Structure formats: C-alpha cells, structure tokens
Amino acid sequence: MSATLSATDQIQNLILESADFEDFLNELARFSAHQMAGDGDDALCGITLLRDRKAATIGWSSDSAREVDEIQYSLSQGPCLSAAKDEREVYVPDLFQEDRWGPDYAAAVASHGLRSVLSLPFNLHGEAKAALNLYSDVPHKFDGRAAERARDFTREISQALRLAVRFSLHADSASNLRATLESRTTIDIAVGIVMAQNRCSQADAVEILTGASSNSNTKLRDVARSIVDSVGGAGARTFYQEPGKVSPGTGS
C-alpha cells in the first residue's frame, strides 16, 4: 500500500480488495501490526470480538498472534478481554513484571518471546465489543508516542471495523431468518399433508404434529420434514393421524 495514503484510505482499499469478511479482518490485523511496529521491529496484532458472552480472535496478523490471544480465552482473563469488556485501554509494559491476571497469563505469553502488550477498545456503538491487541518482543514498546499513535490508529479504523461487524451480524441474521423461513415452510406443507390425509382442520393437524413431536421427543421441524419427505415417493404414507381416526383407504 502507498505510504502517501491515510490509514482510512488504506482501510477502504482493504475492504474493496478483500475476498470476504474473514480475509478483510486478517488483512486489517496485518496492516495494524505493520503500522504499530515502527523502527523495523516486529509486532503481532489480533482483533478480539466479544459477542453473546463469547470471545474470539476474528483477525490476526500471524498464527502466533492468534495463539497468544487464545491464551486469554482459555484463562478467561487478560488485557484484551478487559479492554473489550470494560471499553478501556489496558497496557502491560513488561510481562516479566506483570501480575494483574495471575502468574499463568504473563508466563504463558512471555513464553512466546513477548514482553509488552497494549490492548485498545474499538468504539462499535453497540454492534458488539472488540479490542485491538498489540504485542511486542520489546519491553515498554508502547510507551509515550507509540501509545498515542496506537490510539489514533484505533479511532481511525473503528468505523471500518464497525461496518464490517455490522455486515457480519446482518449476514448471520439473514442466514438464521432464511433457515427459520425454510423450517416454517416445511411445517406448513406438513400441516397440509396431515389435513388431507386425516380430513381434519388446520388446528387439528397442528395438534397432531405437535403431539407427534412431543411423544417422540423430536423437534417439530424434523417431524414435519419426515412427513414431507415421506410423500415424495409414489404411494408413500405418513403415520401421523388424528387420535381415534383411521386413514382413508385403510378401512374401518
């Protein structure tokens, strides 16, 4: 990317050039690590998303970045979780002198050759909670001007991440809605089949289906699907009937 472009412009280019949401987030993490490294040093970057009380790294600059993020998830504590949950900046100047999250966290992250951590919350305006996690093998890497640069950068890319998360949430909602509608359609078709076979009302057909679901401890949509599938072949017949009623053609 051209150094003459602003961070916002470069993020917009990332959105346009990325194949999908996951690709964009990984590119964003790599870009963030490059922006924050400075002075030719290496830096790791992970992006933590909190949603439905679950935490996950949704973008990472390298496998090592994802691994050190996941240390916190396994322990249910650490700077990125605190930054995302409490929406506040959390800085670890030197892991060798850190004990806020007990000895296990600091020792585990330091074992990856890292010494300092800076976690900065994103402002997602209620879409979810997230944090940018920066790691360096240099102690006190994110002191002073480096921390200010990281804050400015996080503010710049918050809008891009907010939009990306919003699109992801909407995509999930659309997928769930589509599954719900498909399930509803299957149930409606099954109700019609039971009505025709039992010559009963819609309310009675629904009662038959729900009774079959309850008696067999099977989800209603699965009962409905089995009925719809059963009439796919010639002469196929279901066995869900109104209590005390004999199916047409079977005799009395």
The pLDDT tens digits of the residues spanning 42-65 come to 688 888 888 877 888 888 888 899
pLDDT value for 37 = 66
> Which residue in 72, 49, 44, 73 sits closest to 60, CA to CA?
44
pLDDT of residue 127 exceeding 70: no
Q: What percent of the chain has pLDDT over 70?
A: 72
Task: Determine the pLDDT at residue 203.
Answer: 80
Residue 4: what pLDDT? 58
15's enclosing H/E stretch is: helix 7-17
For 19-45, what is the mean pLDDT?
70
Average pLDDT, the chain: 78
- The pLDDT confidence band at residue 95, using thresholds 50, 70 and 90, is very high
- Give residue 11's pLDDT: 65
pTM above 0.75, yes or no: no
Q: Is the torsion defined by CA of 85, 132, 114, 95 positive or negative?
A: negative
Q: What is the pLDDT of residue 232?
A: 67
For the chain, give the percent of residues with pLDDT over 90: 24
pLDDT of residue 5: 61
Lowest mean pLDDT among 20-29, 158-167, 172-181: 172-181
Which residue did the predictor score with more confidence, 150 or 163?
150
Is the CB of residue 47 less than 8 Å from the CB of residue 161? yes
Q: What is the pLDDT of residue 9?
A: 66
Question: What value does the mean pLDDT take over residues 56-81?
Answer: 90
Question: Residue 1 — very low, low, confident or very high, per pLDDT cuts 50/70/90?
Answer: very low
pLDDT exceeds 80 at position 136: yes
Checking if the pLDDT of 129 tops 80, the result is yes
Return the structure tokens found at 250: 């079977």
Q: What b/e readout covers 81-114, taking b as 16+ CB neighbours within 10 angstroms?
A: bbbbeeeebbbbbebeebeebeeebbebbbeeeb
